[in-house]
Structure 1
């Protein structure tokens, strides 16, 4: 890895856009060889401990930025990640000798001896071990436990009372620390309602925050106005916290959200790792302010933001995530950044032979596949040419001249690793410790010469990789569809919002898994989120002072959860019998007689 600081965006942009042609320029050679290049916008030194980002809450920043901003308060740093084979070797190291790896888990506590590969093109006896699929038994156990839960109850398994009470306590502590004449204090129900409004912004987006409380018919949101006042929402938003500033670790770049992240990781894995196929990839969280962990990755859909490493099921359930704070993170010696990420994310898996793990060429190397084989994991990943362990495969330039669908195969007899190379739109190479090129399948591609779709040959390892790799993308897509749209002025606001979104997406995913197991049709994400938002906003303790427009959501009305009778300030017409009453349902917020209460909330009498 290399790092270089620049005082201006113009200087850095000139380097990236117009690289030097001087072959003796050592720094430019490193830039060219980097497998990933990140631009980090450093905060100004005098603001290093500030929570605030001075941006207008109503300004919509452009996401299609192709160049760096010209005016920055701090310096720029160019970070390049080099492949471990490109780094200068240490004379004291020998690839064939035993290397001690720093432990991130009990599985990494023993020494690891890397064996050099012995490649053969004729060795096709296959693999002695295959992964065991125990997912159906685990999903059945989950269904037996929560199969009858409604969406709100499932959601509360992930964003549980412990997390909300922690946010309440942290917010009150932050609001009252070293502040004179301030008596701010929030509570459990207020934070639940606040979170409901946050989720509502992903379903119903308006140009400015204040418009959620507007009286104009175009923007009117009665459910928001009746749940919480505008000024109260803004006050809670200004103090919202998920940490105790007096105890945070100054060396932790994500200290403001680290405790919350740990609590969520614990809840995400409360059912264990129940999927047979797992995938590892990066997730970008959009952010345009100033922070030392902010990344700029050219060519990504989200170019500016924070980077998280995610372990997901093949269908998009998030098990674990790790924020990436830069090169200062602790890494096991002998492995590169991507390899260490894989080892850390797999820490909580106790029975490795029940899972397959898939990742892309940022992570994969022959050494990593060998290490995972030693630990009992079944792994597959696309790999870059300089990380194959010198596999005896047809050179990419030569294979590109051959017909599409051409493939080549080599097997490492010493370590039990297969290498498969395939000619598609580009040359793809895969390493695996449990998949080979056989059996051959077919893939449909468009032939420009024939101007029609044709079938080409596809090796089995590539086919399995394509079918199991997209889990993180599915999870990321589910978040982006209804991402919280309320912006904040603090650098960690987008991380708090993403944490809330992740909890709701995982709740929807587990709902879908249970419904599919019972062979029932699951709710769409829109329906699921609508149910949860409606329940959160209607569960506030504020009694209605006037009659609502329309009926409550039927899923809320008949969910048989937390419906109680309270008194109102004035009499209104009962929603069931239309006579005057001073009572109402606390959750549904509709006037109802005590004698009509059960009838109104029972589905058999509602028709």
Structure 2
């Protein structure tokens, strides 16, 4: 492609009549070899004035070079399109189609589109679809499900882990030490506290208090250390003092301020996010069905990356793009920094997000991915097909690739449950449209409308529930789409309630919550594989909090539940002593009466049962 602008039609006419007069030797050599030559009339500037405004936009100037208008309101541009094989310009790689702005009906637009050959269309990012209504079609490739083998390997490795050990798969010693190092480095900058120093054990207790705030919420942070029984908590008091907690919270850091990338809006937490993403993927993408969607993290302060989405449960906050399993395990997350984020110009925002998240998958043929109409387009499904991914998504009307389907307005007049189907033979993409409460359109490169399923709906006219036909692609979309919502719901159930004044504080607490939710999801996956009853999220979180706050503590815990003691506390071999009690109770080991108990576990035990109780392994 070669373009050159001219200030007047007279100048262009002289060149066309006598090409050798042009000083550009490259154009002089290639003009005769051009496959197509177009003259584009550029729109005039706002202050441009012309005495000759009667110009026919449909006039094809190249048909008769002797008929040129004397003057044009704006500039003109000469466009020459060459064959790649015959072009003498080595810098020409592929032809382009140029459309003059603000001139949708100009001769340049119609002429360029009409002159695009089949060879040029092959150079476009994807093949144009060829829609068919026939059902005698099928996909040449189908996904393979190896999730059971993946989960078996995971169970063999971590199936017997307790909840704290599950959490330490993600918040391991490397991340704890990472937080310790950057927190101490940040505190040393403050001249008022040159001697501040924390360690891994103290950071674990700090994180335990953070998690505790999701279980027991008070109006103000200081009330956890209140002497009033209504607010105060002895477990928190015995773990860490109020002033020490506030000091750690003030200096808590996960980055080096001297090495922050000014182009990264999330530089304060980017390193931590990257470390968590690596640990979330330590077992690979082990689930068969995946989903992609957005997550909102509540934030009401001032930051350029803060979003507002009307109609969402969380309207103000930071937006994350998440890749989750269909049951809510988070594999990858990407923060969204707004319109300034770098994206490929070939695709829109949603399409770029899908491609970035799926790039972490090593074996695309073993997974299916589902997303909603914010991300889906015919162009994206085609690209994913070429990369080996199996994708399904609802799609907006202007992104279907002009699928030959019943018009939504016409389908709305049909009975509930009516459907339509089209298949792109060129790219093997199916389009399914279904009439439910509203018109739903789905694109997929591995699902079709067959087999037809049944959906239960309430009929207002008949005042009863009825069954209506549902295409298979719609049904599979509904089954596999909710993974991110399940993860988001689990995060919001017991979200850390301690607030901070720094803009990145919600991102830090969300990272900690994500690690704990993933640990619980991993626990549920292992228990489900073993066909055992898993802990509820409340039980799991309580176990973790109790273990973090009681383990290796120098103080005596006084808030002990009546149930079995925490496994980590029972076998930590620290501060367990036999004491004499006032009441006679049944020994937890031999069930006979005793007046002795363990001081730390706060359970009745005979002195002879004491050692065996604290050393014999307990199966979860």
> Smaller-chain TM-score range?
0.7 to 0.9
1:460 to 2:465 alignment: no
Show the counterpart of 1:496: 508
* Shift in alpha-carbon separation, 1:411–1:485, aligned structure 2, 3 A: same
Show the counterpart of 2:452: 440
Distance 1:187 1:422 in 2: 59
* Shift in alpha-carbon separation, 1:422–1:355, aligned structure 2, 3 A: same
Partner of 1:289: helix, strand, or coil? coil
Structure 1 residue runs of 4 or more that deviate by more than 6 Å after TM superposition? 87-100, 574-577, 589-596
Show the counterpart of 2:542: 530
Distance 2:559 2:235 in 1: 10
1:254 to 2:266 alignment: yes
What residue ranges of structure 2 are gaps of 5+ in the alignment?
A: 1-100, 588-593
* Contact in 2 for aligned 1:534/1:556 (Cα 8 Å): yes
What residue ranges of structure 1 are gaps of 5+ in the alignment?
A: 1-86, 101-110
Q: CA deviation at 1:330?
A: 1.9
Show the counterpart of 1:333: 345
Q: CA deviation at 1:222?
A: 1.2
1:117 to 2:117 alignment: no
1:165 to 2:177 alignment: yes
1:509 to 2:521 alignment: yes
* Contact in 2 for aligned 1:574/1:593 (Cα 8 Å): no
Partner of 2:185: helix, strand, or coil? helix
Deviations 1:512-538 (Å, cap 9, x if unpaired)? 000000010100000000000000000
Q: CA deviation at 1:257?
A: 0.4
1:420 to 2:429 alignment: no
Distance 1:566 1:524 in 2: 29
* Contact in 2 for aligned 1:437/1:461 (Cα 8 Å): yes
1:184 to 2:196 alignment: yes
Deviations 1:325-379 (Å, cap 9, x if unpaired)? 0122221231110000000001111111100000000000000000000000110
Show the counterpart of 1:598: 611
Show the counterpart of 1:306: 318
Select which of 293, 300, 305 maps to 1:288: 300
Show the counterpart of 2:19: none
Distance 1:251 1:95 in 2: 42
Distance 1:304 1:196 in 2: 27
TM-score (norm 2): 0.76
* Contact in 1 for aligned 2:551/2:569 (Cα 8 Å): no
* Shift in alpha-carbon separation, 1:242–1:597, aligned structure 2, 3 A: farther
* Contact in 2 for aligned 1:193/1:540 (Cα 8 Å): no
Show the counterpart of 1:243: 255
Q: CA deviation at 1:98?
A: 8.2
Deviations 1:405-462 (Å, cap 9, x if unpaired)? 0100000000000000001111000000000000000101111111111111110000
RMSD: 2.9
Deviations 1:122-157 (Å, cap 9, x if unpaired)? 153211211100000000000000001111111100
* Shift in alpha-carbon separation, 1:246–1:200, aligned structure 2, 3 A: same
Show the counterpart of 1:127: 139
Show the counterpart of 1:43: none
Partner of 1:454: helix, strand, or coil? strand
Distance 1:314 1:112 in 2: 34
* Shift in alpha-carbon separation, 1:250–1:559, aligned structure 2, 3 A: same
Partner of 1:282: helix, strand, or coil? strand
Number of residues paired by the alignment?
Answer: 500
Distance 1:594 1:291 in 2: 60
Larger radius of gyration: 2
Show the counterpart of 1:476: 488
* Contact in 2 for aligned 1:285/1:305 (Cα 8 Å): yes
Distance 2:300 2:616 in 1: 49
* Shift in alpha-carbon separation, 1:561–1:311, aligned structure 2, 3 A: farther
Deviations 1:46-98 (Å, cap 9, x if unpaired)? xxxxxxxxxxxxxxxxxxxxxxxxxxxxxxxxxxxxxxxxx999989989888
Q: CA deviation at 1:554?
A: 2.2
Show the counterpart of 1:139: 151
Q: CA deviation at 1:562?
A: 3.0
Q: CA deviation at 1:600?
A: 3.9
Show the counterpart of 2:591: none
Q: CA deviation at 1:564?
A: 2.8
Partner of 1:523: helix, strand, or coil? coil
Distance 1:143 1:97 in 2: 53
Distance 2:374 2:190 in 1: 46
Matches within 5 A, 1:400-411: 400-411=412-423
TM-score (norm 1): 0.77
Select which of 316, 338, 359 maps to 1:347: 359
Partner of 1:394: helix, strand, or coil? coil
* Contact in 1 for aligned 2:295/2:319 (Cα 8 Å): yes
Deviations 1:15-53 (Å, cap 9, x if unpaired)? xxxxxxxxxxxxxxxxxxxxxxxxxxxxxxxxxxxxxxx
Distance 2:221 2:496 in 1: 12
Distance 2:526 2:286 in 1: 12
